[in-house]
Structure 1
């Protein structure tokens, strides 16, 4: 319902009136019931007030909205799952094109493909594909939006076996700046498809993704072992050495963390600083022993939670630890190697980790990721061996400066050991001044600019493209 306070001032009033007259879906402005809920995103640090939010129900709604936006030229942001750390799903004083109601997933088990709408989350995809014993690489938190993760590359527990999320794309449906609905694939608008595989946002509004699927599940063998913090240096070096000879069927991860409040772990251990090693085997659980055993022998286990569990349970295991509305800040580096000096520096930084919930994660890359050439996709970090992610979690606004300051200091301390590349999905906040487009896009920056100028010559989505 529109209230007497729901009309933005100036040019935004005309935008609001035109949208309400042209689309059949919900259009919200400040003061409307539902506006405050619609402007909130996963990261509670983000508190922005758009002039207009269009909650699209269909691709036609999106196309009509884009055409009207082309006449009024507001700043635009696109919301899929709303899970991007930098909060790029929402902007101040502009137009939010909200796809969260468009969350359908259709699986074709014969062709092993899934068509996924732009507002879906990975829980939607995993639930639908696993009913057919199929899977594609997705995010490690099931509430993460499919669109944002995929467009930025898309690391996950299966990426060394099956490639990044963007590597599994067969095609996309996208509304470009002229309001036209286009299909992009290797044979149709291939330049746009190239950009959609890793360049992030700003290409238009991707309303649907078609993914190729792989046989896997429903059960998965995992190694998940917690080691004492005083063994972290030795265990991390052993973990690194194990990853260098790991088969592509595992994508090992290591973490410096504090034991979360897991009911399966004795309560007296909750909050204890530890080193954790984890891996999921992308194959028959009965054949996982040789691949997973090294991660169970890195030191003296405090807790060993290894075993065989449903894949969907693995994918959702972290959901409750990263709730909607928590405060988050992530920074990342790509690394070609993990030298002893880097491990020492990382542990020096970790000793001052600001909150128990905050963690440092190292993911192993390579495998299927590197079998996709740089010419095939805009993901610029093929060849990197590791990704280092500094993942800050906290609850009190009063701690913002302290926590973010520690993350930035740690990121700077690790920079001498990094390749210079930055993962767009873990790049900080939208006002970062220490991350360049070249760090995210590498040598492909000029090629990406050419694609953007072809499909958005007047820069309608320029603000979205510039936003981390």
Structure 2
């Protein structure tokens, strides 16, 4: 059966020729498993690609890119399929699905790992923790490593070891013309600079090499839950504490609604609360002195800050972030002034669903010591990253929830310099790109784009348009 696409018709013979060249498989509309193959984590994006190419290795990726170019197909690249803005899928085009590519080779002596892009953070952590090592990963273990890293990568090791992208030491990339290139500090160094924060603009990353660090296996980590009535006191106390926290400790304040979890009293379920989450990336015994003041910011409803396996902390939030809900995230880098905290608290009281939240993620430490021009992730001020999350189990009124998130971001962002975190920009638009990269960084990214993707084949991302497309 032929396939209609936005650019024309793909005949059976054309698709069969592609499939014959692959170790992986091709899934098309009408095939068994098509709906499963096209599904992504964020149900707000219900797309119907013409083809999903499930790649078994780099050669399959090369062939898929060549096929997309020859047929003039829109290209979406999928790793963990967690793209908030829906970049992991498309209508009518081709999805280059990297999820079958899950190899990892850990070098304990050299403290390096070479990882394939289909891995999730939970899968990679399992491999590296076998040697007592880790790199900054996502707050939800089902997140894919590749997109997370290319956009920066904020996690519990940020203040101790920097972003995930700060620990990327090399990458293998399939470019728009089907070449396989290596990017590191010496070879294709401008591409290497761009990959660390510039997103998926420059090709399909088929291998990532990370620097690893001794972490765990036990860490001091967890949650402290305070009632909303103490929110102002908790936020002000947290602000004072983060100014002098050791780099080993990374914290996050989550203004949310208490879920019906067994460790919370039933009378608290469904009420607004303030959750202080954190992890001390060092000796748990030494961490008690750093964590102690967090316990005394108010009168906790629950205190779940305790020694636990690093992998347990990495997956602690997973039950709250399962696939299938509608999600919209947006963000702003801010300074936690009195006015900023007022805005955060005010907007928290207007959350449209029990699943919508405002996060304040502590920065500083190793993150802030990376020179602003060292990578494409140039927002290195030691302030706070505010993430605004609209989440709903279904589509009903989701548009209104998105409007709440955008309005919340606009109000809170007045207390910063306007920049956004590229992984949490919600949707694709030119203004989002301009809010993610300073002008000089964006101009440098354009030059890299001109070298490696001058026709903008890879445009399902926070797109850096090449010069030809911008003119």
Q: Same fold (TM over 0.5)?
A: yes
- In the aligned structure 2, how far is the partner of 1:326 from the partner of 1:240? 32
- In the aligned structure 2, how far is the partner of 1:451 from the partner of 1:18? 33
Q: Specify whether residues 437 and 384 from structure 1 end up closer, same or farther in structure 2 by C-alpha distance, changes over 3 A only.
A: farther
Aligned pairs for 1:65-464 (under 5 A) are: 65-222=64-221, 224-335=223-334, 337-430=335-428, 432=429, 435-442=431-438, 443-464=440-461
- In the aligned structure 2, how far is the partner of 1:102 from the partner of 1:312? 22
SS state at 1:460 partner: coil
Shift of residue 229 of structure 1? 0.6
In the alignment, is the contact (CA less than 8 A) between 2:167 and 2:211 conserved in 1?
yes
Q: What is the number of equivalent residue pairs in this alignment?
A: 461
SS state at 2:220 partner: strand
In the alignment, is the contact (CA less than 8 A) between 1:223 and 1:296 conserved in 2?
no
**Residues 50-81 of structure 1: per-residue CA shift (max 9 Å, x gap):** 11111001111001111222222211110000
SS state at 1:256 partner: strand
In the alignment, is the contact (CA less than 8 A) between 1:105 and 1:124 conserved in 2?
no
Shift of residue 223 of structure 1? 5.0
Unaligned runs of 5+ in 2: 466-471
The 10-residue stretch of structure 1 (299-308 or 446-455) with the greater mean CA deviation from structure 2: 299-308
TM-score, scaled relative to structure 1: 0.95
- In the aligned structure 1, how far is the partner of 2:144 from the partner of 2:180? 21
- In the aligned structure 2, how far is the partner of 1:396 from the partner of 1:35? 22
Alignment equivalent of 1:13, drawn from 10, 14, 22: 10
- In the aligned structure 2, how far is the partner of 1:130 from the partner of 1:463? 33
- In the aligned structure 2, how far is the partner of 1:53 from the partner of 1:375? 37
Q: Specify whether residues 76 and 12 from structure 1 end up closer, same or farther in structure 2 by C-alpha distance, changes over 3 A only.
A: farther
Shift of residue 402 of structure 1? 2.1
- In the aligned structure 2, how far is the partner of 1:180 from the partner of 1:426? 30
Q: Specify whether residues 34 and 424 from structure 1 end up closer, same or farther in structure 2 by C-alpha distance, changes over 3 A only.
A: same
- In the aligned structure 1, how far is the partner of 2:164 from the partner of 2:422? 14
Shift of residue 22 of structure 1? 2.8
Shift of residue 18 of structure 1? 4.5
SS state at 2:221 partner: strand
- In the aligned structure 1, how far is the partner of 2:123 from the partner of 2:375? 25
- In the aligned structure 1, how far is the partner of 2:461 from the partner of 2:434? 17
Shift of residue 16 of structure 1? 3.1
The 10-residue stretch of structure 1 (18-27 or 295-304) with the greater mean CA deviation from structure 2: 18-27
- In the aligned structure 2, how far is the partner of 1:55 from the partner of 1:156? 29
SS state at 2:10 partner: helix
- In the aligned structure 2, how far is the partner of 1:340 from the partner of 1:312? 36
**Residues 423-463 of structure 1: per-residue CA shift (max 9 Å, x gap):** 11111123x57x43221121300100100110122322234
- In the aligned structure 1, how far is the partner of 2:148 from the partner of 2:3? 34
- In the aligned structure 1, how far is the partner of 2:259 from the partner of 2:124? 27
Shift of residue 375 of structure 1? 2.5
In the alignment, is the contact (CA less than 8 A) between 1:86 and 1:428 conserved in 2?
yes
TM-score, scaled relative to structure 2: 0.94
In the alignment, is the contact (CA less than 8 A) between 2:157 and 2:281 conserved in 1?
yes
RMSD (Å) for aligned C-alpha atoms? 1.7
In the alignment, is the contact (CA less than 8 A) between 2:433 and 2:462 conserved in 1?
no
Shift of residue 467 of structure 1? 8.7
In the alignment, is the contact (CA less than 8 A) between 1:143 and 1:319 conserved in 2?
yes
1:466 match: 463
- In the aligned structure 1, how far is the partner of 2:462 from the partner of 2:70? 19
Shift of residue 384 of structure 1? 4.3
Q: Specify whether residues 250 and 326 from structure 1 end up closer, same or farther in structure 2 by C-alpha distance, changes over 3 A only.
A: same
